[in-house]
Amino acid sequence: MSGIRCFYGQILLLLVSVCVSAGVLAQQGPRAVPVEVSQAQVRAMAPVSWAAGTVVSLDDADISAEVSGRLVTVADEGDQIKKGGVLARVDDVLIKAELTSAKADVAREEASLTFLRRELDRLERLAKQNNAAQTQLEQTLSQRDGTQNQLEAANARLLIARERLDRTVMRAPFAGVVVRRTKRAGEWVNSGDEVLQLLDTSQLEIETTAPVTLKPYLSIGQTLDIETSQQLGAAKIRAVVPVADRQSRLIRLRLEITEGDWLAGQSVKVALPTALPQDVLSVPRDALVIRRSGSYLFKLDDDSMAQQVFVDTGIASGDFIQVKGDLASGDQVVIRGNERLRPGQPVAVKAGVAK
């Protein structure tokens, strides 16, 4: 019996302990939820429309053969080539033979010219002594002038032969990567035939178009939001081509990419302003909780309690969006941990993460 009484006594003590703990917790209230916060601020924002754009390279060239012949080597697709590096070579045997022949022609004309100059000197000395006919002297002068012209023509052919030999080697006009090849080693090419495409992947920008009506809202150096299904970014307007296409009535824009990892040929969306910027109350997009019943956010009151505020949204730009509701500039809004918050729930702001 004493053992049973001892057992029941332990159970009673345990129940009393649980009740005391529950009472203490009830007095302390619900546990504070850790969150990250930011401030609602007034920002200059403009409504936008999204336009399709493409990432392009500042340097993109189709490299063509400059002399006819059989290709000996062609760089592979994907090869990284430095500026001045070899892209392809054309068989130079015949052109070297032309160069040798041109050199021989120059040497022959130089020898003839040297002989005629000496002959002129001799005839001029004889003419002073009346021992040479004036006609023979004039004839030699004519031959010298003709040989001089022939030498100039031979030098021009030599220069052409040397230039043709140099152009059997196709070199990169800029550093880049071989994107594609249209010819292979062993194929015959004529002057002007495309051999490969070279593209500089280190200097990229975005090409897009905009309606003429948006021209007043676009300026050089203006930063526009860009996005794909996988990343967000920003780009500055480098050029606005002030000429509209006759059919589409669109103007072309070129944008410098300031951040992000982009690929040439990648499609992007560009946010084009459709009106002048206006000062509006905005919060980070992450502050919004979107439900079927509407969009809301949580702001913190003076007691660090989460107060639910239903809002209407407006202009969106980058990471921020305009909101209209019971909110003022400077109010702290929850941007992390808001999905499971309940109205009136206490929160604890994580140190060093308020934005």
CB atoms within 10 A of CB 100: 11
Question: Which class is 30-47+279-349 in CATH?
Answer: mainly beta
Question: How far is residue 314's CA from residue 215's CA, in Å, rounded to a whole number?
Answer: 23
Q: How far is the CA of 66 from the CAs of 1, 60, 164, 169, in angstroms?
A: 113, 18, 8, 9
Q: Which two tokens stand for residue 200?
A: 């500089």
Closest CA relative to residue 170, chosen from 71, 244, 102:
71
Low-confidence winner among 50-59, 129-138, 219-228 (lowest mean pLDDT)? 129-138
Low-confidence winner among 133-147, 218-232, 286-300 (lowest mean pLDDT)? 133-147
pLDDT digits (tens, 9 = 90+) for 43-82: 988 888 999 999 999 999 999 999 999 999 999 999 999 9
Secondary structure class of 340 (helix, strand, coil): coil
pLDDT at 15: 54
Percent of the chain exceeding pLDDT 70 equals 89
Q: Which CATH architecture has domain 59-84+175-201?
A: Beta Barrel (2.40)
Q: Which CATH architecture has domain 92-167?
A: Orthogonal Bundle (1.10)
Question: How far is residue 196's CA from residue 204's CA, in Å, rounded to a whole number?
Answer: 20
Superfamily of domain 49-58+203-274: Efflux pump adaptor protein, beta barrel domain (2.40.30.170)
pLDDT at 296: 92
Start-end of CATH 2.40.420.20 domains in the chain: 30-47+279-349
Question: How far is residue 137's CA from residue 129's CA, in Å, rounded to a whole number?
Answer: 13
- Burial class of residue 147, CB neighbours in 10 A (0-12, 13-18, 19+): buried
Q: How far is CA 116 from the centre of its chain?
A: 64
Start-end of CATH 1.10.287.470 domains in the chain: 92-167
Mean pLDDT, residues 89-100 taken together: 94
pTM for this one?
0.66
